[in-house]
Every structure is written in C-alpha cells, then in structure tokens.
A and B are shown apart, each in its own frame.
Chain A
C-alpha cells in the first residue's frame, strides 16, 4: 500500500482525534456522576452537627462536570471533525 501524502495523512488523524476526544469527554462525564446540571467546582454535601442536630451544607472542593462541560466538549470534537471536511485535498465530501 502506498503511503498517503500531504493533508491526506492529517485528515484521518484529526478524525480519530475528534472521535477519541468525544468518547473521552463522554466517559469522563459519565464516570464523574453524569450530572445533569451546570458544572461545579465545589460539590455540596449534607452534614449533621452532633450537638445541635442541625443539618447543614458543606462543600467538597472537587470538579463535577455538568451538561455544559459535555456539550462544550462534544461541540469541540464536532468542530475538529468539521475542519476535516473543509481541508484541502480532503476526499471526505466525495467518498463514502
């Protein structure tokens, strides 16, 4: 098989990168809790004070990705893929 030349090499690489990043972002979002709200950098945790029996909210300093993270990540992957469609010498538009 002859090696491809110029952007013909870059196009499949970029498409692989787009697919990989989409999968990684989806996996990251699911594994960290699949939070359906906005991303959080401090996560509320309910605690109870033993002396007063009061329940109060404390925060854990950690990142919880939300749907904004998911959408932004998938849009970024889609943008990389879209870039390959408009690259010169790309045959993506003509080939199936």
Chain B
C-alpha cells in the first residue's frame, strides 16, 4: 500500500512569524486588573450555604474570599483560598470552572452570567505569590516522617499539609522537575511565566519538605523500604501509561502520544523550534485531545482535526473546551474510529477511519502527524518490586482507597489520578489534603 509517489510528511519548525508564537503561547485568559476584580467581586451575592462552595472539590469558601477582595482585603482572600487549596493559583488557571463552582453560581440562574470565580481566585492568589510570602506556619515538630511519592498536585498538596501539621516530609519525584502534570501536561497558554515552578517553590517554602528528584519508586526505592524508613507513605503517582489504539501503523514515525507531545512542548523554551505537521489528526475526545489539537494549531499546523469515535455529547471534553477548540480553528470529526494508520518509513500519510454509525463506511483523513489521546491509566509496576511482598489492592487500573484515601496497606495512602475518581488538578489537591489530615490523625492517634 506504500505509495512511493506520495510526498514526504510535512513536519517542520518555524511555520509562523516569530512574534506569533509569543501571542499564541501567552496567557490565554489574562489576569484581571484591580478594577476589574473589584467590579466582578461586587457581583457576588455572598450567598449563605453557597452552592459554589459545594461544587469546589476542595470546598473553598468562595463567597468569603470574594467578599475579602471586594473590601480590599486581598491578603485575607488569598489565605482563605490557600487554606482549603494550596494550589489555588494553578486551579484558578486550569479548573474547568464551567462544570465546577461557576456552574453552581446562583447568578448563572439569576442572569446567565456566573461570577468569574476562577479569575477572582487568580487575582487574589497571584498577589500573594508575587509577594513571595508563606502565609502558613508549621505546627511544632511531631518527630514523625512521611514519604510522599510523586511531586504532582496530589503529592505537593499532601506534603504541604503534612508540613503544616508539623511532620517531616520526604518528597520523592522521578522526573527532573517537580509539579507533575502542572509542569508537563497543562496547556502552555494556561500557565505562563513558569507559574508551575513558582507555585512549587511557594509550596515548598513552608519548610521541612525534603524534595528528592530523579528518583523513582520501584527502581531506586521500594514501597517496603519507604514503609520501613517512614511513619506513613502517600502515593501520588498519577498515570504512567497511555492507552494504545491497537491498529496497524501505530508505530509509524509521526504517530505520537498526545501527552508526550504536550510534555515536550511545555519544556520547549522556543516554540518556533518545535516541529509540527502541516496536517495533524488528534484521536480522542477528552481535554487532552483538545489541548493537543489547539496547541498544534497554535504552532502553525494548517489543518487540525480531532477525530472521536462517538457523538459530541459523549465527549469528555467540557463544552467550554469544545468551544475553545472550535475558536482555535480545530475541526471536529465525530463517529470516527481509526481503522489503520497509513504511511511508510518516512512517516505517516493518513488515517483511515470507519464510521461508527454505519457498518462498513470508511474514509481517510490526510495527516503528517497523528497524536493519540485516547486515555492514560495507572500501571502498578512501581509497587511490584521484588521486595514488595504485600500487594496493594488495585481495581481497574486504579489504586483502591477508602474515604481517608488509605489503601489496602495500613499506613499507605494514595490520591490523584492513580486512584478512582475524576482526573483533575483540583481533585488531586483535595486527595492530598484529605490524606494528610488522615495521616496526621493516624500518627497522633
């Protein structure tokens, strides 16, 4: 099927004038000015038993912090937020507020226009982080030491809360930089100016957290070791595997995991030097697919198509994310299941799809690059080192935990993407917080 006359895949750098990269990867939702924040804050009704508080996975006292902004008590606003959610800064940038707090804002009902809770949250937390101060004090040293594995949102949240409660923390991270997907996953235009690292520095600023990077559980250290050397362990391992399509051509050059593509793009200092195909097909229907597709467009790809096997309503990307893809000129192809990827040693040329509504109907979409975004999952390999004799209970690729986020092994807790539940930064932060509080009770019990 290899067509020698077919042109080489068109993948290259510098597709756009240099200044366009600046704009395309700058802040997609610029911060509110002080005036905008005051005006927006004054829209909050300061509800009693406010539905938005409940809709926030970390239970931030939303009316409370917005009132503080309105009265000019910006510091108090930030502390109110960070007390419930130490990553209030990142969450204000990446939370899908349209399905969380803002969806439940009573003004959505009153005048179809919720208070911009996320933007206000950013206004308050940015101000505090800019001053570089740590508003929380550590409780007197408990003499206990806890190992936290994975410096993503779950692990960092857990570590900070443990430190606040007076415990010593060893934070073990396999990658070179801490932050987890805040550093390697979130779309570049959502978190500009190295915000992920600035926030990590802020979190570590509480002290008594020893960060060890470049060390992996299962390779450099085992769970058994950690349980021996520490009083408790928290696992915030995230996902570590990507689902495969299982079709021919999946290993052709130019076919990549969307998460790897995104991670590399996040680390690229000069986006103009990042190679991108002229025609890009993204396979999947979630927010990762949207992030990959939009960033491909913003790198200068001419034609970017998201191909998803079911209908719009089944897509896990939120309505706002779908709109965002559309405004960025991404085409959406529904009911399209990939049958095989066409190409040769030089690279990919097209993806052949079948129409899931009509047996036998097929079509192809030409592509220079294919990004797979059909889901990540957790492989328990790090927990299956030779010395870990007691197995952790796993169910459908996720670590099983109770309400306290304790696993089947006493003293071992887990949270974030590696446990059952929605995969969001904010839920990972909440898991870490809940686990830390439970660990504290356990250690003081």
**Same complex origin of A and B:** no
Interface residues of chain B, those whose CB is within 8 Å of chain A, are none
